[in-house]
Chains A and B, each alone.
Chain A
Amino acid sequence: MEMQTERLREDIAAAQAGVAQGFESLLATFGPRLYGFFLKATGNHHDAEDLLGEISVRLVRSIANYDDRGRFEPWLFRIAANMVRDSRRHNRCRPGVISLSGQEEDGEPFMPPAPPQGDRLEAREDAEKLAAALKSLDEDTSRMIMLRHYGQMSFKEIAALFAMPLGTVLARVHRGLGTLRRLMATSDES
């Protein structure tokens, strides 16, 4: 774990010095989780892919502003959360675009990139159930839960990001997690 932290620090320093390898390493480390966050938040592979590309560009532009205090993930996922929020606003302003409700822009449901098999099929089904369950939560609660998982953010950091009292954030996350658990169990039974 210490090695990982040290390596992360080196990658950040390299990226801040403008070294391509530093950026590539950061993308390799956080790219899959960022993609997962974007996919769960938008419910759409194309939106998630586009946002992953966009945050890679923003990483290059803003890495110089990152003050290394060992909180790189929350910093990165705060940017990601803001991008999702902006993307939702932008899409709401575009008539006819319904991709954030789990449909492609042409109205077809989202198709996964590759056909999964065996364990992967089960994992995909679980992921789809979870995505559906997350949609049943209100937008903020859903994002708070995702930031806890993908961004490893503390409740205090989430409270600051959403400008909400700390107690309210935990109450919502707790209630949301309970709802998710219940929905997943109901889905398994059916």
Chain B
Amino acid sequence: MNLDRQQYEKVARSLDGESVELRADEQACAADVRRLENELDALFDCAAPAASMASARRRMLDELSAATRRRRRFKLAARLAPLAAAAMIVLALGLWRSRPPGQPSNTPELADIGNAAYFALVHQTNDDAALTVLQNEMEIFAAELANSSVSAVDLHMDSIQDQIDSFWLDEPYRSL
């Protein structure tokens, strides 16, 4: 039974289930492969020791627990992202408040900015209008900060930290 490579390829495709027309010697080869595989099949089977299966099961479940923990951490981080953004807003608010007294106060009211931040946060920043308001306010803050005194900012760092702490502990955000 001497087949060339192309003939073997035809036989292989036929054994894989393709509809291929085989010549007599190719059919004999296909039948021989089937017979040999069937004969040896029973010899390949062997039982896995219970201890090996139990050990594999333990390792698999350990990995599954670890993967579940990793997923939870990832989800938590994703949910904390808006909070982190909000904390930055509060930091900006604190910096704005810390500016030296006597400087002109032609910026928007703090309450409006706080409301915009709160609104965007609670709605998970899905609301385009709220985002626009928030972005505008942030730009104004950025301009304000650029003009503020660095030394004054340094002096009020404790108060800024308090602002952030109180923001994180505020009731609406704790439920997120």
| Residue ranges of A at the interface with B (Cβ–Cβ < 8 Å) | 18, 20, 23-24, 27-28, 31-32, 34-36, 39-40, 45, 48-49, 52-57, 59-61, 113-114, 123, 126-127, 129-130, 145-146, 148-150, 154-156, 159, 165-171, 173-174, 177-178, 180-181, 184
Q: Please give, as numbers and ranges, the residues of chain B lying within 8 Å of A154 by CB-CB distance.
A: 16-17
B41 touches A149 (CB 8 A): yes
List chain B residues, Cβ under 8 A from A18. 64, 67-68, 71
At the interface, yes or no: B111 with Cβ under 8 Å from chain A? no
Task: Say what secondary structure dominates the interface of chain A.
Answer: helix
> Is B171 interfacial (CB 8 A cutoff)?
no
B82 to A: closest C-beta gap in Å: 25
**On chain B, which size bracket covers the interface?**
35 or more
CB of B97 within 8 Å of the partner chain: no
Q: In the complex, which residues of chain B have a beta carbon less than 8 angstroms from the beta carbon of A49?
A: 49, 51-52, 55-56
Q: Judging by beta carbons under 8 Å apart, are A166 and B57 in contact?
A: no
Residue among B32, B39, B56, B59 with the highest chain A CB neighbour number at 10 A: B56
- Contact of A27 with B53 in the complex, beta carbons under 8 Å: yes
Does B128 belong to the interface (CB within 8 Å)? no
Q: Check A174 against B33 for contact (C-beta < 8 Å).
A: yes
> Would A167 and B37 count as touching, CB distance under 8 A?
no
B81 proximity list for chain A (CB < 8 A): none
Residue contact B56 to A40, C-beta cutoff 8 Å: no
Contact B8 A171 (CB under 8 A): yes
Q: Do A177 and B40 touch (CB < 8 A)?
A: yes
A149 in complex: contacting residue of B6, B37, B59, CB < 8 Å: B37
User: Which of the residues A53, A130, A165, A180 comes within 8 Å of B59, measured between beta carbons?
Assistant: A53
Within 8 Å CB of A184, what residues of B? 40, 43
